[in-house]
Chain A
Amino acid sequence: MARNEQTGIRAARWYVPYLLLLPGIAWLGAFFIVPMASMFQTSLDGGLGNYSTVIADNSEVIRRTFVFAATATLTCIAIGYPLAYFIATRGGRYKNVLLALVVLPFFVTYLVRTLAWKVLLFDGGPVVGILQDVGILGPDEGLLNTDIGVIGALTYNFLPFMVLPIYVSLEKIDRRLLEAGSDLYASPFRAFRKVTLPLSLPGVFAGTLLTFIPIAGDFVNADLLGSDQQTMIGNIIERNFGQEFFRPELSALSFMLMAVILVAVLVYARLLGTEEIA
């Protein structure tokens, strides 16, 4: 990819590419970069104290946000990887149909999709009924307003973002490598561990970014399906932006959220050894 773009032609007039880029970059500059700077500046109104105040006031919410995001992301990997693997290796001529089923949820608005979970998790609903019959839930226990309910819906909402990149990376693997592995007496499990898994890690990495980041900033699931015990950082921003949105604390909170995510992504990239993607 990089190589291809290196060989791009040099424009007859040097400013041609810049002219093509100008409208888009101007838009991004004015409405993405400038706002970030504006938010950062707002967060410093009254000094750095905003950060310590906001962190002290919301420490439990902050902790919960990242625990929820990490749990939901790991669940996405745990169930999304097998699905992607199944489609890539056993999909056969139904591959495209199966992939279409994976993206089908995106054809229903996010908010309405999440509302459907309210139907499913209702105290008298089918899921609670079955779990009570099996004995996983006690007779008085439910799923609405619980951590599990919110994390389950978060996982559901972002799962396709995990499945698709993993599928793409699995699909790209050269089958001959696996054949070579088995010719050299590697068991299927060992071949998977030594060949397939490492080669699919870029997909897992991309999928993790695409799920962890939006989940960490979400407020819809916690609001619709949770109670005060499931409040996330996004909810704090959502509840307060209307009245006193100039409040520097909210800017500090947003900025902190972004900074933590950036650091987490960099650490994760280093751990997975896929820095070139980040």
Chain B
Amino acid sequence: MSAPPAPTALAQDARSSASGLAVLGRGGPPPWLRRAGRIGLAVVAFGTLLYLFIPIVVVVVFSFNEPQGKYNYVWNQFSLDAWTDPFRYEELRDALVFSFQVAAVVTVISAVLGTLMAIAMVKYRFRAKGVIGTILILPLTMPEVVLGFSLLTLFVSVNWARGFVTIVIAQVMFSVSYVATTVRARVRGFDWGLEEAALDLGSPPWRTFLRVTLPLILPGVIAAALLTFALSLDDFIITYLNSGKDTTFPIQVWTTKKSRVPPQINVFSTAILVASIAIALLGVYLTNRRAKKLGA
């Protein structure tokens, strides 16, 4: 009569060890399926990266092409001609210079206006903060063509000639929001007590700003300024609608696309790409050094 319990115990044992296995395997799909899932994920991820990467490779490689005819769309043969004669097309060079001038002005104005707004939004408590936050975000939620076209209807209705000034106006309009958002994220958690301490110790307000506030918010402002500069160089749609006869680099590419697409376009783009990567790496290096310094 002592025998009957045994099978039950065995069965229980078996069941618990089975569930033990289940815990090891955490249930669900068999290992081969999970492995397949893992590999599948990696394949999709690298495929997507490749998709992002290939057009950039095309831009760089085709700067070394010697195209047959006026369009640099089909590979013909390797050549350094475009690199040794980058300024062959004056209008392209002038457009690039113009783009940099616009970007410089836009960056300075946006950095100042955006930083002031970011400080106000983070540092102070005041009414209308919600409304102002919404106004700041709104331009980022509209298609460029709508922003650009609405600005154009304003310039037309007040009979304002389009050119350098209207391009700057248009670009600052969307950059200010980016600067304010970027700087705001960086100065959040900033210890405003430091400012008060300086003031209490008799430092005049302008000196407090230069010696205390500015150094602390500067990394955020520089990051925002670089972003603005890049956005300005890159912007096409809003700028194009408000440019009149003035021509930035993208506009020049656009207006001559039906008549000529020379490899010099690729040369400039590659040069800007390399410079941007260099600046980004420098930024990472400086940030790391600063972090190390602060940590030490």
Contact = CB atoms under 8 A, between A and B. Distances in A.
Interface of A: 1, 4-11, 14, 16-18, 20-21, 23-25, 27-28, 31-36, 38-39, 42, 79-80, 82-83, 85-87, 90, 96, 98, 100-102, 104-113, 115-120, 122, 124-125, 156, 159-160, 163, 182, 185-190, 209, 213-214, 216-220, 224, 233-234, 237-238, 241, 245-246, 250-251, 254-255, 257-258, 261, 265
Contacts of B143: 213-214, 216-218, 234, 257-258, 261
Contacts of B180: 24
A123 B272 CA distance: 29
Given A5-B129, A6-B125, A108 B149 contact: no
A35 B153 contact: yes
A187 B23 CA distance: 10
B80 interface: no
B149 A160 contact: no
27 contacts: A7-B125, A10-B126, A16-B124, A17-B124, A21-B116, A24-B176, A27-B172, A32-B135, A32-B139, A36-B150, A82-B41, A86-B45, A101-B53, A105-B52, A106-B230, A107-B276, A108-B273, A119-B72, A120-B58, A187-B29, A189-B28, A189-B29, A224-B257, A245-B156, A251-B153, A254-B149, A258-B146
Contacts of B45: 82-83, 85-87
Interface residues of B, number: 92
Contacts of A159: 48, 51-52
A182 B26 contact: yes
B224 interface: no
Contacts of B261: 115
B49 interface: yes
Contacts of A18: 120, 126
A220 to B, nearest CB: 7
Chain A binding surface, main DSSP class: helix
B58 A32 contact: no
B253 interface: yes
Contacts of A31: 151, 154, 169-170, 172-173
Contact of B116 (A23, A108, A120, A189): A23
A25 B269 contact: no
Contact of B135 (A25, A241, A245, A258): A25
A5 B249 CA distance: 41
Tell me which of B114, B146, B151 has the highest count of chain A C-beta atoms within 10 A of its own C-beta. Answer: B146
B141 A217 contact: no
Nearest to B240: A238
A31 to B, nearest CB: 5
A122 B253 CA distance: 19
B197 interface: no
A47 B72 CA distance: 48
Interface string B227-254: 0001001101100110000000110011
Given A108-B272, A109-B269, A246 B153 contact: yes
A110 B27 CA distance: 47
B104 interface: no
Per CB-CB distance, the 4 closest pairs between chain A and chain B, nearest first, are: A187-B28, A217-B143, A86-B45, A20-B120
A275 to B, nearest CB: 14
B189 A4 contact: yes
B8 interface: no
B105 interface: no
Contact of B48 (A14, A83, A113): A83
B11 interface: no
B265 interface: yes
Contact of B117 (A20, A107, A116, A234): A20
Given A86-B41, A90-B42, 18 more contacts: A5-B188, A21-B120, A24-B176, A28-B173, A33-B135, A35-B153, A79-B44, A106-B230, A109-B272, A110-B234, A115-B253, A118-B73, A159-B51, A182-B26, A186-B26, A188-B34, A190-B28, A251-B150
